[in-house]
């Protein structure tokens, strides 16, 4: 958590200290508050010692104040806030000539804040009589910190060595020049002076050799550290980012890497500075077998090589390409805007707005017949700057790019004749910039992960499946022909990826028993699924047996339904979801009457959910029943918790009953779902103008002569046939749900309902008109459904021919 956010959460006694700290005019609290993230991300200690760095930070501070003022104006904030920001910017102008004074002031305030935080934390520890442990660092992080401290320490020692060497050389040079100017003729005295000069030269030579040897050791440590940063930490971050794109809960924060890269770069530039100083000293004093003349070129080449490698690795894509309304990252659609963000991990304030990033496409496009090519349109050139990043990093944030397919010269010819679909065709977006600082120039390039480019929203689902498969399995981000020879996935890999989809969409992943059901669906019954593999074709191209859709489509439909309509119930763990019919029967038949569970349909393409409950026959035999699954069409009309709350089944003599009493394993229904109920009890007044109604799902049961407790576990759907999910276990048919108007409700879902007057119906009344039914111009009628009733929601049933039909049928009864 940021330092300023921690301060704001302290007790009032410490907030008073913060208020007193900012009571004066040295540094306004408003500026500290609105620019908190940026302020805490800068190296004010370095700025206080370096005029150039201080000047850059001073200018960025003024720029950020302008940006904040614009936000106030656009957001309609008070005139006072706008006025204060302008006043603060004007006040800071007094540091124009000496910006390091402002850096000193800000650094002082940050240190005082840390003292307040430390006092507050210490008081809390004393109160709780326990010492809080520091966050655990990984062995890798501790190793890097040790190496980093070693490099920084050697650089400081080298800086002292250079000063001592310069002093020695000045002493030798002074005595040598004095000796030449005096021009003594006394041989003995001349010989003595030469001995002194030779001793000084020998000491100078030894110091130069020692310094060059120490510099070589320093570069060894720096190279070792660079290998860890580039070949391990950066590679691991790239893999974490790749998995995060498909839902993995991995951290992709770059702040720690940026700190390490920046420190390493600073140390290497210091070594270059030392070498330049050696060259200056050698220009003043040199001699035969001078070690500087012999060893400096190799050291210079080595340090430049290390810096070049570091700088090239430091240019990365922080946020992968993504459409604003897309299903996920890395799926782009032609002529639809997308965004992408690059970042340079070497944060030197003097580079702010100095490095321009350019965007291009498919520089290394494969020579495949029919392979499409695209142009990047929009603002495709932008400078790296610190103002667009909340953490103060050097970023270029491209927010309004689009792609347009090249109509001529793109595709058609190639050395490979592969049959790749549009959603298996991978493309890369490239970025390049130029680093120029301290007479060192390096061309930098980076690229996005492969993207899939579609032209129609109907291709979105297949494109996302390709992105999932690629980033789950491929460790070579530039392998654009991955789908030409696509590997299979092991079940542990696939199961983890499927769980990530739910975790990223709903913050709750899949449990082991849910994953086992999915594995059973894919591979059949196995003792262990760890060795099982699934091919790309079976995942996304072949239909699930006895259906007309693929596994990928089925899973995605369920995920969309949960995210759109069932997210809260899923987070609570109320939905068992992925459970087979056989497992469902095993779980419920041992439970008391009215115990039910919620599971997903296996036979509906776009996602369906149903509930199954257990009942007992007069002889005590368990009977598990299910209803036809509810789809997103149903859930758009009535929330699922309301369906469960008010669902009724018409038993013998048309007596409605809600069979759902306890959510598996034994949670009372109201305890599981009561917090989601929105209807209030009672009415607002004794009389109300209109009859209030609500919609509920009602099923009717036809008892068959032959009952069987057991049901085939191998049935693909929920019913007696693969595509007929209307029958529950035990051979009892549960018909499709119908809408039924109930007595007045204080919070109706719909105001009215109507009966179809064209049907030959024989309605009956279960309640008749009472004394309060007729008043004003309204007639209160309560209808119930017989086995032939079909009611449909529509406004205005109480008027015209529909109303007359109701009266006529009521009279007949």
Q: For the residues of 729-790, what is the DSSP string, one character each?
A: GGG-EEPPPEEEE-S--SS-SSS--EE-TTS------SS---TTSEETTEE-------TT--
Computed over every residue of the chain, the mean pLDDT equals 79
In the chain the domains, ranked by start, together with CATH numbers, are 3-128 (1.10.532.10), 140-312 (1.20.1050.20), 315-411+430-456 (2.60.40.630), 567-745 (3.30.505.10), 752-813 (no CATH)
pLDDT, position 559: 94
Strand partners, 333: 454
User: pLDDT tens across 577-629, in order?
Assistant: 898 878 888 888 888 898 999 999 988 888 999 999 988 888 888 888 888 89
pLDDT at 340 > cutoff 90: yes
Kindly report the length of the chain.
Answer: 813
Q: Give the integer Cα–Cα distance in Å for 152 and 263.
A: 8
User: pLDDT tens across 525-554, in order?
Assistant: 888 899 999 999 999 999 988 888 999 999
Instruction: Check if the beta carbon of residue 813 is closer than 8 Å to that of residue 764.
Output: yes
- The token pair that represents 558 in the structure block: 């369920």
In the chain, % of residues over pLDDT 70: 78
Residue 96 pLDDT grade (very low, low, confident, very high; cuts 50, 70, 90): confident
CB within 8 A of 40, min separation 6: which ones?
2, 3, 4, 110, 392
Between β-strands 451-454 and 331-333, what pairing exists: parallel, antiparallel or unpaired?
Answer: parallel
What's the Cα-to-Cα distance from 748 to each of 680, 686, 694, 752, 798, rounded to whole Å?
Answer: 11, 17, 4, 9, 17
pLDDT, position 746: 39
Q: Give the integer Cα–Cα distance in Å for 156 and 20.
A: 38
Between β-strands 754-755 and 733-734, what pairing exists: parallel, antiparallel or unpaired?
Answer: unpaired
Instruction: Check if the beta carbon of residue 318 is closer than 8 Å to that of residue 254.
Output: yes
pLDDT, position 185: 62
pLDDT, position 417: 61
Strand partners, 609: 600, 630
Q: Of 81-95, 214-228, 252-266, which gets the smallest average pLDDT?
A: 81-95
Give the predicted TM-score (pTM) of the model: 0.70
Burial (CB count within 10 angstroms: exposed 0-12, middle 13-18, buried 19+), residue 201: middle
What's the Cα-to-Cα distance from 40 to each of 34, 114, 344, 429, 791, rounded to whole Å?
Answer: 12, 12, 18, 33, 65
Instruction: Check if the beta carbon of residue 454 is closer than 8 Å to that of residue 463.
Output: yes
790-808 mean pLDDT: 43
Q: Of 4-8, 224-228, 347-351, which gets the smallest average pLDDT?
A: 4-8
User: pLDDT tens across 672-720, in order?
Assistant: 998 888 764 444 434 444 555 566 666 665 432 223 222 233 333 343 3
**In the block, which residue shows the tokens 């002194």?**
196
Instruction: Check if the beta carbon of residue 553 is closer than 8 Å to that of residue 461.
Output: yes
pLDDT at 764 > cutoff 60: no
Cα-based angle 506, 508, 509 (whole degrees, multiple of 5): 115
**3-state class (DSSP) for residue 356:** strand
């Amino acid at each position: 958590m940021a330092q300023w956010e921690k301060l704001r959460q302290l007790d009032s006694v410490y907030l008073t200290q913060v208020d007193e700290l900012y009571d004066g005019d040295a540094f306004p609290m408003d500026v500290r508050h609105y620019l908190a993230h940026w302020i805490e991300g800068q190296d004010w200690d370095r700025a206080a010692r370096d005029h150039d760095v201080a000047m850059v930070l001073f200018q960025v501070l003024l720029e950020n104040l302008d940006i904040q003022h614009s936000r106030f104006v656009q957001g309609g904030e008070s005139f006072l806030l706008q006025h204060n920001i302008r006043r603060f910017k004007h006040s800071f102008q007094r540091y124009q000539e000496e910006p390091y004074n402002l850096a000193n002031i800000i650094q002082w305030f940050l240190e005082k804040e840390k003292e307040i935080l430390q006092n507050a934390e210490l008081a809390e520890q004393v109160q709780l009589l326990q010492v809080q442990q520091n966050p655990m660092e990984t062995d890798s992080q501790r190793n890097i910190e040790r190496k980093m401290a070693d490099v920084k320490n050697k650089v400081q020692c080298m800086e002292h060595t250079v000063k001592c060497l310069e002093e020695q050389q000045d002493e030798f040079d002074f005595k040598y020049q004095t000796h030449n100017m005096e021009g003594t003729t006394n041989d003995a005295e001349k010989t003595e002076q030469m001995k002194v000069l030779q001793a000084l030269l020998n000491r100078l030579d030894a110091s130069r050799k020692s310094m060059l040897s120490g510099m070589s050791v320093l570069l060894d440590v720096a190279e070792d550290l660079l290998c860890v940063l580039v070949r391990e930490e950066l590679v691991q971050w790239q893999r974490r980012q790749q998995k995060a794109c498909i839902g993995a809960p991995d951290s992709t924060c770059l702040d720690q890497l940026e700190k390490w890269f920046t420190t390493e770069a600073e140390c290497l530039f210091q070594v270059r500075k030392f070498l330049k100083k050696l060259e200056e000293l050698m220009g003043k004093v040199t001699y035969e077998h001078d070690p500087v003349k012999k060893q400096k070129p190799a050291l210079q080449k080595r340090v430049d090589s290390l810096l070049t490698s570091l700088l090239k690795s430091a240019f990365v894509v922080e946020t992968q390409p993504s459409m604003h309304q897309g299903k996920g990252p890395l799926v782009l659609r032609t002529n639809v805007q997308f965004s992408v963000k690059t970042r340079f991990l070497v944060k030197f304030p003097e580079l702010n707005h100095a490095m321009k990033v350019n965007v291009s496409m498919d520089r290394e496009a494969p020579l495949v017949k029919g392979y499409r090519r695209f142009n990047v349109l929009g603002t495709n050139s932008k400078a790296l700057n610190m103002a667009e990043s909340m953490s103060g990093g050097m970023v270029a944030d491209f927010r309004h790019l689009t792609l347009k397919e090249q109509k001529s010269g793109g595709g058609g010819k190639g050395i490979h004749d592969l049959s790749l679909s549009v959603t298996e065709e991978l493309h890369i977006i490239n970025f390049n910039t130029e680093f120029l600082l301290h007479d060192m120039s390096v061309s930098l390039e980076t690229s996005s992960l492969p993207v899939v480019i579609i032209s129609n929203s109907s291709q979105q689902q297949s494109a996302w499946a390709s992105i999932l498969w690629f980033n789950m399995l491929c460790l070579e981000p530039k392998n654009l022909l991955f789908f030409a020879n696509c590997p299979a996935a092991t079940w542990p890999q696939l199961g983890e990826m499927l769980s990530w989809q739910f975790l990223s969409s709903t913050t709750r992943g899949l449990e082991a028993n849910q994953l086992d059901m999915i594995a059973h669906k894919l591979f059949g019954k196995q003792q262990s699924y760890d060795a099982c593999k699934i091919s790309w074709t079976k995942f996304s191209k072949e239909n699930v047996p006895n259906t007309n859709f693929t596994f990928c489509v089925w899973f995605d439909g369920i995920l969309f339904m949960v995210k759109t309509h069932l997210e809260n119930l899923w987070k609570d763990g109320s939905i068992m979801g992925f459970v087979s019919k056989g497992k469902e029967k095993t779980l419920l038949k041992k439970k008391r009457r009215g115990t039910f569970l919620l599971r997903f349909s296996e036979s509906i393409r776009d996602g369906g959910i149903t509930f199954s409950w257990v009942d007992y026959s007069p002889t005590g035999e368990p009977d598990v029943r299910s209803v036809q699954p509810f789809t997103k069409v149903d859930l758009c009309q009535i929330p699922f918790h309301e369906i469960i709350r008010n669902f009724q089944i018409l038993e013998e003599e048309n007596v409605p009953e809600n069979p759902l009493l306890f959510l598996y394993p034994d949670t009372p229904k109201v305890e599981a779902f009561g917090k989601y109920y929105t209807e209030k009890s009672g009415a607002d007044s004794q009389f109300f103008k209109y009859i209030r109604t609500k919609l509920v799902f009602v099923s009717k049961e036809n008892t068959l002569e032959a009952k069987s407790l057991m049901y085939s576990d191998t049935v693909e759907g929920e019913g007696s046939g693969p595509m007929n999910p209307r029958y529950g276990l035990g051979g009892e048919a549960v018909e499709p749900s119908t809408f039924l108007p109930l007595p007045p409700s204080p919070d109706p879902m719909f105001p009215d309902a109507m009966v179809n007057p064209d049907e030959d119906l024989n309605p009956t009344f279960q309640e008749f008109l009472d004394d309060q039914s007729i008043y004003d111009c309204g007639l209160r009628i309560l209808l119930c459904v017989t086995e032939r009733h079909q009611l449909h929601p529509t406004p205005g049933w109480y008027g015209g021919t529909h109303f007359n039909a109701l009266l006529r049928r009521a009279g007949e009864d």
